[in-house]
Structure 1
Amino acid sequence: MSRSIRPDAVLIQAVIAGALSFAHLHDLAEAAGQSGWKAWAYPVSVDLLLVAAWRRLRTARRDRSAWTWFVIALTASLGANIATAGLLDLGAVPSWLRILVAGWPALAFMGGTLLVHTPTPHPAPTVDRPDTPRAPEPAPAVPAVEPAAALPVAVPSVPPALIDHARKVATEHRTRTGTDIDTTTLRLRLGVPEDLAGAIAAQLA
């Protein structure tokens, strides 16, 4: 199903205005000594710089650099339109205008480069400051942690034969030294672990 094409008056007006401005810039550049494809490149350069500056202004309204290049491009476009309206003799263009036309490519290149590669400034985030200071919120209550109950220590079982042998070793030590045998000496003499030696010593006491 085909759709009906409705002409947009604003779009038609923009195309006509752009074509006229394009032609005026071309005529001025050609009169200033730029012939062939060079004369056609000048209106493209002016319009591209104007569009680039406008797009930059849409994202950064307070960007002074974007406003500067927008005014420069707009002045170049309006100046060409006014100059070709009969106020300037295109057969005898003054030297200063030839200099401006010849220097425009470098100026447009610098402006386009700065507009594209300059980072867009971001506004600082606003922080809401209440009129009255808020009272600090109380810290959440931490539940008390009950200490873990002490686990019973398992006492190793001692064989009766080992008790008898330990008693002989203790008696021999008392006879030889006149003192009771301690746990460390008993452990070394019997060659048993420390916990087992303590259990044996407890039964010998």
Structure 2
Amino acid sequence: MTRPALRVDAVLVQAVIAGALSFAHLHDLAAAAGQAGWKAWAYPVSVDLLLVAAWRRLRSDGPSRLAWSWFVIALFASLGANIATAGFLDLANPPALLRLGIAGWPALAFLGGTLLAHSNGHPAPHPPAPTAPEPAPHTEPDRMPEPKPDAAPVTPSEDAPALPAAAPAPTVPAVLIEHARKVADDHQARTGTPIDTDTLRARLGVPPQLADAIAAQLA
């Protein structure tokens, strides 16, 4: 199997030439603003890297305000250097505004690169809104069957439990009757009225049922 021959792409060659010229213009502009040695070469690298990072962010995550903003800033810096070195500025005596822009570019490029590298490109999707429950189908309430006119009346069942019988009256000893009679006579002699059941129960200290039985015997 033969490998395809290496072909020279005209577009790639044009991109390399344009990039080299832009790189050189940025270097010359930085050198004119007082950045000598390796510092002058670092400026075009910083501008081109920011431009590439913004473009890759646009290609991978889609259009966003952040990526477009930093792409325009890097493109403006590259185009501005190309125009400034074309004779529009006196590079022998650069203006103070140019020196200010060159001095502040490293911090600006660092901020842009950090935001492009570490910001979330895909916002978290919002959870779907809860749907309202479907209404239950309308059903008519069950109707009780109407009794027939000739139906026999319902009688209580013979198996129904009978009510408990009343407790028998307690047996009162004769001795207690005699003692109660003395207490009743003493009460009537002192007050002039017959003794009532509550007073009798309190004087004898007996339960209510026994006091009722005694009062019945004294009547």
The alignment's TM-score, normalised by the length of structure 1, stands at 0.58
1:83 aligns with 2:84: yes
Aligned match of 2:18: 17
Opposite residue 8 of structure 2, the aligned amino acid is P
2:217 is aligned to none
Aligned to 2:48: 47
| 1:1-205 mapped onto 2 (5 Å cutoff) | 3-122=4-123, 124=125
Instruction: In structure 1, list runs of 5 or more residues that go unmatched.
Output: 128-205
Deviation (angstroms), 1:62: 3.2
- Determine the C-alpha separation between the residues in 1 that align with 2:124 and 2:107: 32
Q: Distance in 1 between matches of 2:39 and 2:116?
A: 24
Look up the equivalent residue of 1:104 and give its one-letter code: W
Runs ≥4 residues deviating over 3 A: 122-125
Q: Structure 2: which 5+ runs fail to align?
A: 129-219
Identity of aligned residues (%): 71
Q: Over aligned residue pairs, what C-alpha RMSD do you find?
A: 2.3
In the alignment of these two chains, the number of paired residues is 130
Q: 1:54 to 1:2 in 2, by over 3 A?
A: closer
TM-score, normalized by length of structure 2? 0.55
How far apart in 1 are the matches of 2:76 and 2:17? 19
Report the Cα offset of residue 63 of structure 1: 1.3
Question: Higher Cα Rg: structure 1 or 2?
Answer: 2
